[in-house]
Structure 1
Amino acid sequence: MAKPLARYAALTGYIELSRSLSLDPVQLMRSVALDPAGLELQDRWVPAASVARLLELSAAASGRPDFALKLADRRRLSTLGPLSISLREEPDARSAVRLLIRFQHMFNESLHIHLSERGGLSTIRIHVDTGEPMPVRQSTELAVTATYQLLVHVLGDRWHPVSVCFEHSRPADDATHRHTFGVPLSFDAEFSGIVAYTSDLDEPNRLSDPVLRSYARQFLDTVSTPEEPTTTTRVRELVELLLPTGRCTIDQVARSIGVDRRTVHRHLAKSGLTFTAVLDETRAELANRMVTGRRYSFTEISEMLAFSTPSSFSRWFHQQFGMSPREWRKQASG
């Protein structure tokens, strides 16, 4: 089974928060094989385990067990991408939660949300499964807080749940948690999630426009992909992700997906591809994009595309595009 992926949007605000806590976000991201430049591409998929590992490392390095809650403060509804448009127009809180559950695969494959209703109470259970044994405290707190923020967005700032629960233990200082949720907190609980009055979920969405609702759903249908990403798609995305780290090998890609290298070869062969062909094609696409822009020097680009020297990059680029990187950039800016 392929390991779950998550969108880079899960790390919205990470750079700014880390720097405010005197952390080196670039070094931390690279330590878990994430490309800092990728944060600009919020819809890019990366291993959910890498995101979870980064959050745990950041919390430990900063000495802030409330790191995920601080990160959630920097999120907006738009962090959920196209899904946010439909969530904004749902008629009530229950519909918004159910839509979130239905399309949770669009933003984080490791996130599992379940809604149950009994005895006048509604329980939203939230579970994070990265596909490998590892701490997920920060990822869980980020997911619970983001779900809480969605409900506040729909119901208004005066709304409060009955309780907020976490399976992990209470931190030594839970001031941020109490301030964030403003309700009784239950740690070492049976599940992580939110308990609310069922009647609250029936409350109308204060921002919803019934006229826009059908348009929002139509838009979501055009961009949603209920099917899981194919192995070939994941290989392409991981190659683009791993190239700048200097660790783009078929073995590394296979480990990130959760299969062996022969499985990667087999799936690519079904599409008439080889790993080398995908690597070369992706490298050419990145080179075109980076050379056309002016953000990176040619030396930086050669390093990010895993060339041993700038001259070898220049020779390769000329073979691919018929001119030197300098000529290409000059022509693009002219």
Structure 2
Amino acid sequence: MTDLIRGMSMLHFSDLVVSMGGDADAILREQGIDPSLVGEFDFLIPYRSYAAAIGEAALSLERPDFGLCLGARQGISILGPVAVLIRHSETVDRAIEGVCRYLYSCAPPDVATLERSGRSAIFTLSIALRQVAYREQMVEKGLTIAMDAFRFLLGEDFVPRKVTMQHRRISSQERYREQFGCAVEFESDVNSVHLPNEGLDKPIRGRDAAALALAENYLARISPALGLVDHVREMIHRLLKVNHATLVVVAHEMGLHPRVLQRNLADDNTSFEELLDNVRRDMSWQLSATGMQVGQIATMLGYAEQSSYSRACRRWYNESPRDLIARRRRIAASR
């Protein structure tokens, strides 16, 4: 399970914090997030850093309803092409099913489901990461955005039959009633919004079939975003080619403080140095079959001295770089 999400997921975070009298940049930097990149679609943020920033904002501002407020301010606009599915699907149930199918394109750890049961259809939301600080803020934000979608689909006066959350209540019932239109049940088995079954077959007015087709084609082509380890490995591979594959440069490219990147990698039982070594090993195997000289390979791998590459090669393969080249040639010739 990847723990990287789109920067769009933090759209309006800074505006909201400032409007409440807080220092948004300080909160973001404390979590290792570059404030200038928040809200950018192509900027990837570790989910845990994202959740921590929202939770710390709630604490420092003494606003336990911060997740509710942020979700209301963002609405479905932060869902990008998934919002296009919501607006242009044929029916309400097709729209919600599209959200459940493609939510990973915005936030891979968030998992949504829709199940019809009796007179109600139950929409559930969960976070597929075991250890997430301020999970309650993320759930409340997510269900608030879901309510924005349901009110678009079912009418501005839509009121759920029931709303449940797994965590303990953190704001007043009046605040939840203001947001959802009904009381919320806490310490429940699931995070859910109960919809009227008969409303799911309702056609969506003003839909554009061409816009829907474009969104579906786009979403069908993409796969879940790279996990943190895979993303760092990909960055190292790319930056080695220009001799810039250092922790500081990779962290900067990802919009993170180097210490935060190392801490997040440690949570995945690895380190930047280990990933760099693994990428160099894999590249040395590939480059040794291309006809390149040892010195050229050493340079491609970012070693200042050929002797450093020689020591690494013996550690990886128990042979010298020249012996590795010879072995790779024999393998190629035998095919």
Smaller-chain TM-score range? 0.7 to 0.9
Instruction: Give the Å deviation of 1:63.
Output: 1.0
CA distance in 1, matches of 2:146, 2:119: 20
* Distance in 2 (alpha carbons) for counterparts of 1:193 and 1:42: 27
- CA deviations on 1:64-110 (whole Å, 9 max, x unpaired) are 11101111122143311222223321111211111111111101122
Q: Distance in 2 between matches of 1:217 and 1:270?
A: 39
Which whole-Å CA distance do the structure 2 matches of 1:3 and 1:30 have between them?
22
**Map 1:203-214 → 2, pairs under 5 A:** 203-210=202-209, 212-214=211-213
State the alpha-carbon separation in 2 of the partners of residues 212 and 147 from structure 1.
Answer: 21
Match of residue 157 from structure 1: 156
1:12 to partner: Cα distance: 1.1
> Residues 155 and 204 of structure 1 are in contact (CA less than 8 Å); yes or no, is this contact kept in structure 2?
no
2:265 to 238, 254, 262: 254
- Alignment-derived partner of residue 113 in structure 2: 114
Offset from partner CA, 1:125-168 (integer Å, 9 cap, x none): 11123442533010010111111111111222122211111111
Q: CA RMSD in A?
A: 3.0
Matches within 5 A, 1:248-287: 251-252=262-263, 254-255=265-266, 258-261=268-271, 264-265=275-276, 268-269=279-280, 272=283
Q: Give a deviation string over 1:214-233, Cα, whole Å, max 9, x none.
A: 34423444xx4225526443
Relative distance call for 1:137 and 1:160 in structure 2 (3 A) is same
**Against the structure 1 CA distance between its residues 242 and 194, is the aligned structure 2 distance closer, same or farther, given a 3 Å change threshold?**
same
Amino acid at match of 2:257: T
- 1:196 & 1:163 partners in 2: Cα distance? 8
Aligned residues of 1:3 and 1:130 also touching (Cα < 8 A): no
Equivalent position SS for 1:169: coil
Amino acid of the structure 2 residue aligned with 1:245: H
> Structure 1's 260 and 126: CA in aligned 2 closer, same or farther, altered over 3 A?
same
Q: Is 1:201 aligned to residue 222 of structure 2?
A: no
Q: Is the Cα contact below 8 Å between 2:8 and 2:38 reproduced in 1?
A: yes
Q: For the residues of structure 2 that align with 1:78 and 1:63, how far apart are their CA atoms? A: 27
What letter is aligned with 1:84?
A
Give the aligned partner of residue 71 of structure 1: 70
Distance in 2, matches of 1:81 and 1:271, equals: 36
CA contact (8 A) 2:81 2:219 kept: yes
Once the two structures are superposed, residues 149-207 of structure 1 have per-residue CA deviations (whole angstroms, 9 ceiling, x without a partner) of 11111222122211111111223523332111112321122211211111112111234
Amino acid at match of 2:78: T
Size of the alignment, in residue pairs? 273
Are positions 1:245 and 2:245 aligned together? Answer: no
Give the TM-score normalised by the residue count of structure 2.
Answer: 0.72
Q: Higher Cα Rg: structure 1 or 2?
A: 2
Q: Which residue does the alignment assign to 1:54? A: 53
How far 1:41 moved relative to its partner?
A: 1.8
**Distance 1:117-1:267 versus aligned 2 partners, 3 A rule:** farther
For residues 214 and 40 of structure 2, the distance between their equivalents in structure 1, rounded to whole angstroms, comes to 26
> After the TM superposition, which residues 73-222 of structure 1 pair with which residues of structure 2 at under 5 Å, given as runs?
73-210=72-209, 212-221=211-220
Task: Pick closer, same or farther for the CA change 1:206–1:56 going to 2, 3 Å.
Answer: same
Q: Is the 8 A contact 2:71 2:144 kept in 1?
A: yes
1:34-82 superposed Cα distances (whole Å, 9 cap, x missing partner): 1111114233211101111111111111111110111112214331122
Distance 2:77 2:109 in 1: 20
Distance 2:301 2:124 in 1: 39
Moved over 6 A (4+): 276-279
Runs of 5+ consecutive residues of structure 2 not aligned to the other structure: 237-249, 285-296, 303-335
Residue 170 of structure 1 aligns to which amino acid in structure 2? R
1:103 counterpart SS class: helix
Output the CA distance in 1 between the equivalents of 2:120 and 2:52. 34
SS at match of 2:113: strand
Map 1:283-294 to 2 at 5 A: none
Q: Is the partner of 2:283 in helix, strand or coil?
A: coil
Query: Kindly, what percent of the aligned residue pairs are identical?
Result: 19
Cα contact 2:72–2:148 (8 A) shared by 1: no
CA gap of 1:266–1:161, structure 2 versus 1, over 3 A, is farther
